[in-house]
């Protein structure tokens, strides 16, 4: 099982743009392969909002990124990213909330959310695009040794 056809766009798709790409490139010292960006696709039985590859600037090593987007439902997007985090080297959520709101929300759910975020290495980006605020890195995603890189290159991800 691998990639399938891209699904229709929704309003949260606007949260992934060149500003988010530049932030990820800067944070991870990579160059995103813009031709590899896939939106709204099915991957291993999951609907994934954004999936792409990038190459490290120093050694030109392939890395994969999975991004989950949400306008407002922070808990839902964290759970989605947690369930999909095994599908890429780096997993991020991008949400339309302030940094203060995100941190406060996670702290108030201290029994569950911090553990999920830490276990999966999820990164968090706050992006209040409507207020013309630049995307802000709340938490850097942790690298995971994703073993399907060869299959990714061949568009034959094994689940």
Over range 98-109, report the average pLDDT. 93
The sign of the torsion formed by the CA atoms of 105, 107, 112, 118 equals positive
Lowest pLDDT segment from 20-24, 51-55, 79-83, 146-150: 146-150
Residue 124 pLDDT > 90: yes
For residue 44, the model assigns a pLDDT of 84
Mean pLDDT of the chain: 88
For residue 5, the model assigns a pLDDT of 45
12: nearest Cα among 61, 72, 79: 72
Residue 153 pLDDT > 90: no
Residues 11-20 have pLDDT tens digits of 889 999 999 9
Give the residue with greater pLDDT, 40 vs 7: 40
Percent of the chain predicted with pLDDT > 90:
69
Encoding tokens for residue 75?
Answer: 């808990």
The pTM (predicted TM-score) of the whole model is: 0.87
Please give the domain boundaries of the chain with CATH numbers for all domains.
Answer: 11-153 (3.40.1350)
Residues 20-58 have pLDDT tens digits of 999 999 999 999 999 999 999 988 889 999 999 999 999
Query: b vs e for 107-138, b when ≥16 Cβ sit within 10 Å of the residue's Cβ?
Result: eeeeeebeebbeebbbbbbbbbbeeeeebebb
Between the CA of residue 46 and those of 60, 75, 112, 151, what are the distances in Å? 29, 17, 22, 17
């Amino acid at each position: 099982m691998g990639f399938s056809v891209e699904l229709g766009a929704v309003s949260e798709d606007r949260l992934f743009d060149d500003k988010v790409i530049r932030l990820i490139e800067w944070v991870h010292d990579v160059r995103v392969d813009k031709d590899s960006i896939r939106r709204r696709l099915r991957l291993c039985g999951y609907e994934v909002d954004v999936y792409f590859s990038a190459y490290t600037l120093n050694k030109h090593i392939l890395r994969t990124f999975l991004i989950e987007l949400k306008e407002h439902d922070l808990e839902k997007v964290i759970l989605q990213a947690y369930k999909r985090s095994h599908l890429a080297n780096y997993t991020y959520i991008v949400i339309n909330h302030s940094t203060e709101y995100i941190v406060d929300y996670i702290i108030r759910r201290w029994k569950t959310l911090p553990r999920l975020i830490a276990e999966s290495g999820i990164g968090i980006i706050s992006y209040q695009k409507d207020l013309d605020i630049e995307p802000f890195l709340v938490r850097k995603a942790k690298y995971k040794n994703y073993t399907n890189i060869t299959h990714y290159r061949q568009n034959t991800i094994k689940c």
